[in-house]
Amino acid sequence: MIDAASKAFFQAISRSAFLKLLATRYGMSGERGFARRFIAGEHVEQVIAAARAVETRGLAITLDYLGESVSETPEARRATQEYLDIVDRIVAAGIERNISLKLSQLGLDLDPQLGLDNLRRILQRASPHGFFVRIDMESSAYTDATLDVFETLWEEGFRQVGVVLQSALRRSAEDLRRVTRMGARVRLVKGAYKEPRELAWQRRAEVDAAYVSLTQALLREGTYPAFATHDPAMIAAAKTYAAEYGVRRDAFEFQMLYGIRRDLQTALAAEGYKVRVYIPFGREWFPYFMRRLGERPANVGFVIRALLKER
Ligand code: FDA
């Protein structure tokens, strides 16, 4: 994890229309587009091919159709319809039935009821096919609304759905208690958004310490938790505590992002841990891509080298 200032910098430039134009032009062009390392492609056939390749490596998958913060109701309905189509395409393709999505893509920002209704439509289509649906967690402005939508659907009887908690947020220990009491599944992450000091730990050491403490709580009290991180120290902490506490390897999983630490993904799977790869795709890849650059400025060098090669 890098410091808060870099996160803020990349978050700010992700709003630049010029950079977006440039990136959209070159990022996905051909197999060698510089964003292709992190994003499987713009179309569903490309993500299905990527998912098959990941499954061949003995890893599990979750697919994310990129998009967030829609500003009009028709846009949210369109994204929902696209998710419904993706559910059908996944079933037809015979790959694992697991998707991740963002509520702001489904209209949460416009009206929480709209986000709730759209997610319900997706669950109604996906659940009979045995899908698991993970609601990604966005910035702290959405935490309450996201957990409320999740809880409402849980109370309606949807059980193949889970949430994400961020160790960077000071409130997460409390949220963890709320979600584990329900018996719901949590994905634990450090948190990809720049957050104010009142709400979030700012220093890496603090975010990491919170991650370890939440990991231990999830291993003790959680339901099939997912530890989503590429940080070897966090992974080691989870492994050690699970072994000490007598938690079986099939009672939790690790998750990593497509294109990041593929070596570690394969090594963990070889040790007998379940590893799930989060595979994003779609035309709205720019904000996701910028968050990945923000986490690791060395990625900027990777992008520049790819651009120079292309020229
Ligand atoms: P950290 O940032 O400390 O990185 C540890 C090491 O991992 C680095 O030294 C580097 O080797 C490697 N690494 C990390 N990021 C990299 C990158 N971008 N490029 C190349 N190497 C990199 N966040 C959120 O707020 N809401 C969410 O719903 C999710 N969902 C989610 C799902 C999954 C499967 C993962 C893996 C992550 C998320 N995240 C997320 C993102 C998460 O919050 C966090 O920003 C990143 O995972 C980076 O943090 P690490 O835990 O990997 O540690």
Closest ligand 1 atom number to CA of residue 204? 3
Q: Report yes or no on 266 lying in a domain.
A: yes
CA of 113 to the centre of ligand 1 (A): 30
Q: How many domains does the chain have?
A: 1
Give CA–CA dist 157/123, Å, rounded: 11
Helices H, strands E: what count in the chain? Answer: 12, 8
Closest ligand 1 atom number to CA of residue 1? 2
Q: Is 148 a catalytic residue?
A: no
Q: Using alpha carbons, select from 51, 50, 73 the residue that is nearest to residue 60.
A: 51
CA of 295 to the centre of ligand 1 (A): 7
> Closest Cα to atom 1, ligand 1: which residue?
1
Tokens representing 203? Answer: 């220093």
User: Are 84 and 125 in contact, with CB atoms under 8 Å apart?
Assistant: yes
CA of 230 to the centre of ligand 1 (A): 6
Q: Report yes or no on 20 lying in a domain.
A: no
User: Are 213 and 237 in contact, with CB atoms under 8 Å apart?
Assistant: no
Closest ligand 1 atom number to CA of residue 62? 34
Give CA–CA dist 291/272, Å, rounded: 30
Residue-wise DSSP of 259-289: TS-HHHHHHHHHTT--EEEEEEESS--HHHH
Task: Please report, for the domain that includes residue 97, its CATH number.
Answer: 3.20.20.220
Q: Three-state SS string across 125-173, please?
A: HHHHHCCEEEECCCCHHHHHHHHHHHHHHHHCCCCCEEEEEECCECCHH
Q: Which pTM was predicted?
A: 0.93
Q: Using alpha carbons, select from 46, 53, 125, 65 the residue that is nearest to residue 91.
A: 125
Can you give the pLDDT of all 311 residues of the chain as single tens digits? 456 667 777 777 676 676 676 677 677 776 667 888 899 999 999 999 999 999 999 999 999 999 888 889 999 999 999 999 999 999 999 999 999 999 999 999 999 999 999 999 999 999 999 999 999 999 999 999 999 999 999 999 999 999 999 999 999 999 999 999 999 999 999 999 999 999 999 999 999 999 999 999 999 999 999 999 999 999 999 999 999 999 999 999 999 999 999 999 999 999 999 999 999 999 888 889 888 888 887 777 777 776 666 54
> Closest Cα to atom 28, ligand 1: which residue?
136
Q: Report yes or no on 34 lying in a domain.
A: no
Quote the domain boundaries for residue 179: 72-249+261-272
- Three-state secondary-structure class, residue 5: helix
- Contact partners, residue 113, CB within 8 Å, separation at least 6: none
Q: Write b or e for each residue in 146-177: b if 16 or more Cβ atoms lie within 10 A of its Cβ, otherwise e.
A: bbebbeebbeeebebbbbbbbbbbbebeebbe
Give CA–CA dist 137/143, Å, rounded: 7
Q: Is 109 a catalytic residue?
A: no
Q: Report yes or no on 60 lying in a domain.
A: no
Q: Report yes or no on 166 lying in a domain.
A: yes
Tokens representing 249? Answer: 């390897």
Q: Report yes or no on 63 lying in a domain.
A: no
Q: Report yes or no on 29 lying in a domain.
A: no
Residue written as tokens 């994400």? 164
